[in-house]
Amino acid sequence: MNYYKSLPAFLKANGFPLSENPMIAVVPCRGSCAMTNTEFTGDFYMIAFKKLKSGTISYGRTRYDHENGSMLFVKPRQVIEFSNLQLEEAGFNIYFHEDFLNGHPIHEEIKKYGFFDYETNEALHLSPREEQIIWELHDKIEAELNGNMDEYSQDIILTHLDSILKYSQRFYKRQFINRTELSGKTVSKFNKALSNYFEGEILQTKGLPTVNAMASDLNVSSRYLSDMLKQETGKTAMELIHIYLINEAKNRLKSQDQNVSEIAYTLGFENLPYFSRLFKKETGLSPNQFKKQLLN
């Protein structure tokens, strides 16, 4: 696997022309995206727009192929591989080094965009109007890079990059809604997966359910799952797991002749104080206070 500390080294290794600014490059893809068919990683972000005719892009646990969306996002030191890419129409890659963001609000804001942690099969599908918006922002960045660079150029380019990210967040929310209508509520599938986790032997062997475990069961990335659930319910995957656990605990406190520590253990809690804190956070009462209230 190749690791690129600088953007010029990456561009040179793949036969791309060097950019006017060594910290950011816009690489056009017309018909194909000639890249070495080798895994690579680097200290830069990538925003890619492409519609594949053939070939694959791999990162995370999955492969992106021509049936998937047209935009994907890669963060620094994420391993990625492009193999024999042939495009249906023109596309582009925007690469920018993480140091290019230093001193600008986007340096912190970019960490909030969950789609940099999505898998390739969760790429963004754009409508024709959305494509037009992204291309217009691409053209503005490209024009600024190819013009006479001055003290304003970096801020202008970062403003356009910020707009691409904000629009992508908006478009993903639209996609979440559309996909929910097509494939059913994610929260229903999530709750069913949680129920299966408790009904089977998984709880005894693996302990408390985690977001990663639920995401793996539903064949999505953990960040994508949380964002989908947040869109549907206003709560993250972890918050919903906590709610499920406490509801199960309340039910057992009502109907089973077990003490609090036994119930906590059967629910997968190895740490009784943690169970008590979580229970009180969700209900306003400690487990013992809740059980005592039932007896009264």
| Residue 24 sits in the same domain as residue 165 | yes
CATH code of the domain in which 116 resides: 2.60.120
| Residue 167 sits in the same domain as residue 252 | no
| Residue 227 sits in the same domain as residue 168 | no
CATH code of the domain in which 253 resides: 1.10.10.60
pLDDT band at 135 (very low <50, low <70, confident <90, very high): very high
Last residue of a domain, one of 152, 182, 212: 182
| Residue 150 sits in the same domain as residue 211 | no
Q: How many domains does the chain have?
A: 2
Poorest-pLDDT segment among 108-112, 131-135, 186-190: 186-190
pLDDT score, position 31: 66
| Residue 178 sits in the same domain as residue 209 | no
Instruction: State the Cα–Cα distance between residues 119 and 121, nearest whole angstrom.
Output: 5
- Percent of the chain having pLDDT more than 90? 28
Poorest-pLDDT segment among 26-30, 87-91, 211-215, 218-222: 87-91
Structural domain that includes position 92: 2-182
| Residue 6 sits in the same domain as residue 80 | yes
Last residue of a domain, one of 120, 151, 182: 182
pLDDT band at 182 (very low <50, low <70, confident <90, very high): very low
pLDDT band at 36 (very low <50, low <70, confident <90, very high): low
| Residue 110 sits in the same domain as residue 175 | yes
User: Could you identify the residue written with the tokens 């190749």?
Assistant: 2
Instruction: State the Cα–Cα distance between residues 203 and 193, nearest whole angstrom.
Output: 12
87 within 8 A of 30, measured Cβ to Cβ: yes
11 within 8 A of 19, measured Cβ to Cβ: yes
Segment 190-230, tens digit of pLDDT = 888 888 888 767 777 788 889 998 988 888 888 888 888 88
